[in-house]
Structure 1
Amino acid sequence: MLEAGIFDVGVILHLKSLVGKMARTSILMAMEDFYAVHRNYTTKLVLHIRDSNGDNMRAASQAVDLLQNYYVRAIIGPQKSSEATFVSDIGNNSQVPVISFTATNPTLSSADVPYFLRATLSDAAQVNSLAALIKAYGWKEVVPIYEDTDYGRGIIPYLVDALQEFGASMPYRSAISRSANSDQVEKELYKLMTMPTRVYIVHMSSAFSFGSTLFTKAKELGMMSGAYAWILTDGIANVVDSLSPSVLDAMDGALGVRFHVPKSKELDDFTKRWNARYRQDNLDDPPLQLSIFGLWGYDTIWALAQAAEKVSMDNATFQKQQDIKNSTCLGTLGISTMSIGHKLLDAILQRKFRGLSGDFDLRSRQLQSSIFQIINVVRREPKGIGFWTAKHGIIQNLNQNGSEHTYLNSGPNLTQVVWPGEVSTVPKGWQIPTNGKKLRVGVQTSGYPELMKVEMDPLTNAIIATGYAIDVFEEVLKRLPYAIPYEYVAFHNVKGVSHGSYDDFVYQVNLGLVILNADWYKYKIDAHKG
């Protein structure tokens, strides 16, 4: 039997991470603030904070310990989407609600684990705002650069669908492993430079340190220039205020989308108190700016505390599972009797209030948003330049009448953007790669010009090849997931006289030349007719 009035809650965070430290301070302040206002409440949350250290199995182990030895009624966290996948299964089996305000992977659905609630937005919520930017600037191709994790991969199918609605595509996807070193990141950037696409969407969590390495290396390689466009998803954009000056300097000119937090006096007052408290809790750390994750953590405590008060805890016990054949600790976890877990879940789902983060409503089992702020990193600071709303699309101010916009040369309705390289001209989104070796393709006019005809441009002396064989070759290159720079090399002189026999032509392969043979196509066509 639990002590009357005590409501045990587990909290699992990566306490060494930026978001984990931020959330811990916010959660502890939420506890103090809530019970200072609700002194008459008869049920009080007691938090048991655990460190996952960013490890999936450690997060699961902490959850088992909290359920088995502390009989917690709810678990807040864990932080990562991959950790939440493990812990949500454990909570579901024990009928204990698991509430994460940081796990954003869209594939983590409460349909399979009904006791899991997302007190944050799914990453799928932001894809329309990202697609709106791509459409507004008329870009037709974009390359996502993302961490190769459940979190990183989760957004891709939704982003593909959003882009396809107006004809944009992803010619290549750049997944960066969590174990990648600086040299491997540089190698991937070099690969991107050989491709014509110059628009990148960066989807990395704040805990993924290579988000910083990526931009530092990109600047070193000259990729933070006026030819390139970089767009941040909210994984980085939500915490961009807390990045180091050197990283922000490398990021200069990037755009980003992040959850819009409405201003309020309560938020201003809390932010001042939070800054002082964070410095007190983390004396050896540099100052940190409060982000939306800290606010969601704060509001989650308020929602859970209200729900706990509503749910009667009389005679609430944990009953051991009957099947003891399973020797693992999972087989001995308790299940809440008298439907306490289900009652608590319903009470949380019914809690709708105005929190520090805005409207806090989990009736859909996750937060909903129709407003994202669009930011531009300028001189080491994230500058708000507009908004995206589900109703009005891209607008400069929220008090605008949502008239429809057509994006022509003027671009979207945003405050002036400073692009990489401190230029105001919108990047065209593509560029013929100038670095790296070109594929040299040998061609010569066939006896059948409709299959291949080779000419020389009198002004540029460039070789121009046309015909069916050329059409097939160029179509194949277009369908490759990466770009291959190439040039045609004629196997004859300016007067059209061949440099040698057919055998001499074929021998050029040994010298590094790829040849297109129109006679082979003629042979295949004749064989088909025969």
Structure 2
Amino acid sequence: MADDVIRVGVVLDLNSTVGEVAESYILMAVSDFYAVNANYRTRLSLFTRDSKDDVVGAACAALDLMNNEKVHAIIGPQSSAQAKFVANLGEKAHVPILSFSATSPLLTTNHNPFFIQTTQDDSAQVKAIAALIQAYGWREVIPIYEDTDYGTDLILYFIDAFQEVDVRFPYRSVISPSSKDSDILEELNKLKAMQTRIFLVHMTASLGSKLFVHVRNSGMMSEGYAWITTQGLSSWLDTIDSKIMDSMQGVLGIRPYIQISKDLEDFERRWTTNYTSRKTNYNTLGLNLFGLRAYDTIWALAMAVEKANIEHSSFWKQNASENKVDLAAIGVSEIGPRLLDKIASTRFQGLSGYFDLVKGQLKASTFEIFNVIGRTERIIGYWNPKKGLSREIDDISEIACSISKNKLKAPIWPGDTISQPKKLRIGVPVRDAFIEFIKVEWCPRSYKDKPKISGFSIDVFLAVLDILPFPLPHEFVPYVNESRQSAGTYDELLFQIKLKKFDAVVGDTTIVANRSAYVDFTLPYSESGVSMVVLMKDNEKKNIWIFLKPLSWDLWLAVGATSILTGLVTWVLEHRVNSEFRGRPDQQIRTIFLFSFATLTASHREKVVNNWSRFVLIIWAFMVLILTQSYTASLASMLTVQQLKPEFVDVTEIKRNGYFVGYQKNSFVRELLVEQLNIDESKLKAYRTPEEYDEALSNGSDNGGVAAIVDEIPYIKLFLSKYGSRYAMVGPIYKTDGFGFAFPLGSPLVSYISRATLNVTEDKDKMTNIMRKYFSSQTTSTGENGSAEIYTYSPSLGVYSFGGLFIVVGAVSLFSLLLYVVKKFPHFHWTNSNIVPLEGSLWLRFIELVKNFNQKCLRSWSFWRNGSTLNPTVSPEGFGASPSVDDMQKHSRTSSEGADDVATDEDDEIL
């Protein structure tokens, strides 16, 4: 028989269903434990006090138990707020406080060393709820929690966990336990007006049951809404009235998983018989999680007391007082610290699961996810800290952690529907032109008059959704008025996101700076830029002056000037030594102008004898070769390949001439033309369809049409696919970022959609298939990256292209003249038949050359060959000197040998 009795206090709210149920579990636990362990020498003696659902009441009850009943451990209290205060008392008295229902994550042994949570704290469920929300693809959730320590302590954990999975709280709803019905309804009406329809309820059973009654009455327990409850409410649903359960149809809840065993089934049977015999109005009450935690807490305490080997128990009294709740009179338990250590090391298989404390808290285990249907809870899956979500409890053995909703059974959502709540309301533009990008068709009434939406933009978006790591339920909603016509411009459509009428916009919406002020765009999925389409001119081959087109007018002038310069330089170098470059003034002028032009076709008759002249002509011939080859290639291209050219290649030319410019109706291009390109609004005309584009361009600006259409490149490409033979795209004239999908500012979906969009656009096969589906007739050429090549008219060849060549020719000509003056001009001159050395600068030599320029150099073979009359009185060493008889004979022999037309460097050395 037991000799030692350990006094244990119990603090419960006996006026609540939770307190009554917990008390019955505790009493049965004491009875069952000692029935199994009858040989134990220690016994627990329970002293129960009513906390009256109040922090002060719980503190008074704990003080009374410590001061007057000398308890060495206290089980309870129920709430986290009460537990915080009582834990401080337990630390002061060295009395372990064991709570089976206080789940605040802030009640740790670091702050409260004598407090033990024999249940999982609320933070253990945070990751399970985050995984559940992520599995259904929800990116925004509104938490509704009570304004107590129990509610506020957990919300910070939710914020951190949800940030890891890119889920945000657009709003937090806080409800006080003392709120009136009107206050709750006012808050619910505020939530009802918001865009988010996913709610997370973290409340106790008393306040939570009151909330859901008003939720149903306010119409928020209907299709399109989703409600999730934390374990604080989920674990007490069996204690809630059936009418309240009716208001929670479709709610998802999460709570710790309790494995059914033979012992648990036996206990349930005995407890139900015992409890319902006293409480007939709760005859349907089943097993309760916190009740089972209380049961296991008694067993753990009884084991710890036995292992502590307590021989006697006593309190060290600090101060004597007659007041039962005098805080100063509280004693200190002698066996409290030893008992605390034994409780922390106690491990066993309890009714609620394996009892294992880690740092004063019950170790986290598997959670079950249920769906409220009727008056029961249907289990739809499980979550394990290591393995993630699973459909069946046996699937927890899977290797990979899963967050897919396919791992869960399909729930019945509020409104008695299987359609997942919170589908993204995606606005799409409605247009009657360029429907290849977005097309809205209204189906017959047999399909509930729902529109059929298709197009290039839609297919790209669906391809993006296919590779997202989570599901994204959505519905496309056309932006129309009552007559099913477009309700406004693209800017107005995008502004509906800011007004929370749409969750996103999908279509041919261009990414521009001013729109980024109220929406966030994803990465673009189309080509970027604004360009201009113009009418092509008539065939160049019909132009009788086409032979002049290959070279620009300035190049023609440059060639002529260079030719004259070359002729002039050659004449200067040849004039004194070559008889063919002498004669009457008019004859010499003709030689200067005609010689170099004749070399273009190798038709010149003059022969050069000066080596410097030959050097100049070699460089000139090289230049002529390059020019003729370029001319031939350009002319051939004009006559064969490039048969058309655009009428205009620059919007500046159109603006300068005052021509009309067209643009797409309701497009941002109008603002671009007015604000960026400074085109007069009176010169702008709006069109809607490619057919209108064609008619306006065909008529021209002078006949009621326009000179050019300015639009985005994707639209121009589509237009050219139908009318490309008559028009050309020139530009681009303005840079944009292309088409993108729009979401609210700060939306966590933007980064996911952008990454997926990048993957889709880089998949050439996928993009090609989508483009072929809608643009199969497109004939515009494409570059290596798949983008359209913009037609730009190639102008005639200009001077700049041959600038280096002209510089070389000019430099060679000047260099030859310089050396001619320096090296070939004689260093002496005649004075009264005497030779006088010529001293001085290059300028003096140049002056002397000018003075004697028209005199013949009689030593030149050109003059000898032509039989020039010689002056025998002049010295052969001077200017105009006559050759000697020996020279004449030498000349005769050389002429007979056929070398009379060659002048050597030795012959010119005296020059």
Q: TM-score, normalised by structure 2?
A: 0.47
Greater displacement, 305-314 / 196-205: 305-314
Contact 1:196–1:430 (8 Å) recurs in 2: no
Q: Residues 148 and 172 (structure 1 numbering): CA distance in 2 closer, same or farther, change over 3 Å?
A: same
Match of residue 303 from structure 1: 300
Q: Distance in 1 between matches of 2:399 and 2:343?
A: 38
Match of residue 412 from structure 2: 418
Contact 1:137–1:412 (8 Å) recurs in 2: no
Q: Distance in 2 between matches of 1:194 and 1:431?
A: 15
1:150 Cα shift? Answer: 0.6
Matches within 5 A, 1:77-156: 77-156=76-155
1:299 Cα shift? Answer: 0.6
Contact 2:6–2:313 (8 Å) recurs in 1: no
User: What amino acid is the match of 1:308?
Assistant: V
User: What amino acid is the match of 2:345?
Assistant: Q
**Aligned residue pairs, count:** 446
Of Structure 1 and Structure 2, the greater helix share is in 2
1:336 Cα shift? Answer: 2.0
Match of residue 361 from structure 1: 356
User: Are 1:402 and 2:398 counterparts?
Assistant: yes
User: What amino acid is the match of 1:382?
Assistant: E
Q: Distance in 2 between matches of 1:13 and 1:369?
A: 25
Contact 1:228–1:427 (8 Å) recurs in 2: yes
User: What amino acid is the match of 2:144?
Assistant: I
User: Are 1:279 and 2:305 counterparts?
Assistant: no
User: What amino acid is the match of 2:318?
Assistant: Q
Q: Distance in 2 between matches of 1:85 and 1:53?
A: 16
User: Are 1:460 and 2:486 counterparts?
Assistant: yes
Matches within 5 A, 1:14-25: 14-25=13-24
Greater displacement, 40-49 / 421-430: 421-430
1:390 Cα shift? Answer: 0.9
Match of residue 374 from structure 1: 369
Match of residue 803 from structure 2: none
Contact 1:387–1:396 (8 Å) recurs in 2: yes
1:379 Cα shift? Answer: 2.0
1:272 Cα shift? Answer: 0.6
Name the % identity: 42
Q: Distance in 2 between matches of 1:405 and 1:371?
A: 14
User: Are 1:257 and 2:273 counterparts?
Assistant: no
Q: Residues 285 and 241 (structure 1 numbering): CA distance in 2 closer, same or farther, change over 3 Å?
A: closer
1:16 Cα shift? Answer: 1.5
Q: Secondary structure at the residue paired with 2:364?
A: coil
Q: Distance in 2 between matches of 1:474 and 1:323?
A: 71
Picking from 264, 286, 296, the partner of 1:289 is: 286
Q: Distance in 1 between matches of 2:41 and 2:325?
A: 37
1:327 Cα shift? Answer: 12
For structure 2, the 5+ residue unaligned runs are 427-479, 496-511, 521-680, 682-911
Contact 2:64–2:324 (8 Å) recurs in 1: no
Q: TM-score, normalised by structure 1?
A: 0.79
1:182 Cα shift? Answer: 1.4
Q: Secondary structure at the residue paired with 1:412?
A: helix
Q: Distance in 2 between matches of 1:281 and 1:41?
A: 31
Q: Secondary structure at the residue paired with 1:192?
A: helix
Matches within 5 A, 1:25-424: 25-206=24-205, 208=206, 210-283=207-280, 287-321=284-318, 329-337=326-334, 340-400=335-395, 401-404=397-400, 411-424=405-418
1:310-342, Cα deviation, whole Å (9 max, x unpaired): 223334321122699x998111111123xx111
1:110 Cα shift? Answer: 1.5
Q: Distance in 1 between matches of 2:401 and 2:358?
A: 33
Q: Residues 302 and 288 (structure 1 numbering): CA distance in 2 closer, same or farther, change over 3 Å?
A: same
User: What amino acid is the match of 2:81?
Assistant: S
Q: Bigger relative contact order, structure 1 or 2, given CA contacts below 8 A and separation 6+? A: 1
Contact 2:387–2:402 (8 Å) recurs in 1: no
Contact 1:241–1:382 (8 Å) recurs in 2: no
Q: Distance in 2 between matches of 1:199 and 1:416?
A: 17
Q: Secondary structure at the residue paired with 1:21?
A: helix
User: What amino acid is the match of 1:168?
Assistant: V
1:306 Cα shift? Answer: 1.1
C-alpha RMSD over aligned residues: 2.7
Contact 1:125–1:369 (8 Å) recurs in 2: yes
For structure 1, the 5+ residue unaligned runs are 433-455, 476-495, 497-530
Greater displacement, 364-373 / 49-58: 364-373
Q: Distance in 1 between matches of 2:195 and 2:398?
A: 35
User: What amino acid is the match of 2:328?
Assistant: G
1:235 Cα shift? Answer: 1.0
Match of residue 7 from structure 1: 6
User: What amino acid is the match of 1:265?
Assistant: K
Greater displacement, 267-276 / 359-368: 359-368
User: What amino acid is the match of 2:235?
Assistant: N
Match of residue 443 from structure 1: none
Q: Secondary structure at the residue paired with 1:66?
A: helix
1:266 Cα shift? Answer: 0.3
Contact 1:25–1:281 (8 Å) recurs in 2: no
Q: Distance in 2 between matches of 1:423 and 1:81?
A: 37
Greater displacement, 353-362 / 281-290: 281-290
Q: Residues 322 and 20 (structure 1 numbering): CA distance in 2 closer, same or farther, change over 3 Å?
A: closer
Q: Residues 431 and 330 (structure 1 numbering): CA distance in 2 closer, same or farther, change over 3 Å?
A: farther
User: What amino acid is the match of 1:368?
Assistant: K
Q: Residues 345 and 115 (structure 1 numbering): CA distance in 2 closer, same or farther, change over 3 Å?
A: same
User: What amino acid is the match of 2:22?
Assistant: A
1:425 Cα shift? Answer: 1.2
> Which structure has the greater CA radius of gyration?
2
1:138 Cα shift? Answer: 0.8
Match of residue 517 from structure 1: none
Q: Residues 106 and 363 (structure 1 numbering): CA distance in 2 closer, same or farther, change over 3 Å?
A: closer
Q: Distance in 2 between matches of 1:224 and 1:194?
A: 14
